[in-house]
Amino acid sequence: MWEDYEIGYLDRDLVPLIALLNRDRDIYTTSSCSGRIVVVDGAVPWVREEADVIFKSHTPVAWSDIEFIYKTPPHRGYWLVVTGPILHFSTTSIKKAVSLLKKARIAGFKHSGIMHISTTRGVFVELVTGVYMTQLIKTRNLDVVSQHDIVEVLALFNRALIEGKQRLQRLYEVFENNLPESPDLEVERELSSRRVEIALRKPIEVFYEICGDLCREFLRT
């Protein structure tokens, strides 16, 4: 986790929640995302093997960020996609996995479930919100969304992104009231020795700090 954080691979607004989960000795996290907006070049955006991500942001997107898509034709088609947070973790206990799933659904992660169970990795859980939108923007021969209209489309996608971040905050608050059940003393010592201040903050505070004025603009509307 710390290596991913130091090289910038771990989303900063995920750090408080990831640290909280790992403080429980029966839980360890794997690959996760705090929610993002991407531009994909592909025939369809959901077939990863046939689609290339050409732009990615975990904060609200301004028109100037993606203006380039109107200057360069796509290989297949440009799609704008927003997804909410996705978290993965394993636990040694089915009882704990089910308990955390129930709490996650209360926080808005209603598309969550146990993905598989193994003797080596434990109970693998995926937490997913229903926050998702996609829009074809441009084909090789047609601007499906005009340069004039893209600003309004972006506003909708930015609001969806913020909704996902707010659900991430609710998840943190629900888990914070119940974890760690069995504190991992080694993790606690490491958190103390590293003194990573961001791990002690709330996810939404970190997110607002990262995105700054653009977030405040959408919160006002």
pLDDT in tens, 104-161: 999 999 999 999 998 888 999 999 998 999 999 999 999 999 999 999 999 999 999 9
Q: Answer whether residue 32 shows pLDDT above 80.
A: yes
**∠ Cα 204 210 216 (to 5°):** 70
Q: Name the token pair of 24.
A: 């429980």
What top-level class would CATH report for the domain 12-220?
alpha beta
Residue 55 neighbours by CB distance under 10 Å: 16
Q: Nearest Cα to 66, choosing from 52, 79, 49, 50?
A: 79
Which tens digit of pLDDT belongs to each residue from 189-206?
Answer: 887 776 777 788 899 999
DSSP letter for each residue of 161-203: HHHHHHHHHHHHHHHHTT--SSB-HHHHHHHHHHT-GGGGS-H
Burial of 65 (0-12, 13-18, 19+ CB in 10 A): middle
pLDDT at residue 121, as a whole number: 86
Q: Express each pLDDT in 95-106 by its tens digit.
A: 999 999 999 999
Going by pLDDT thresholds of 50, 70 and 90, the confidence category of residue 217 is low
Q: What percent of the chain shows pLDDT beyond 90?
A: 71
Q: Is residue 214 predicted with pLDDT exceeding 80?
A: no
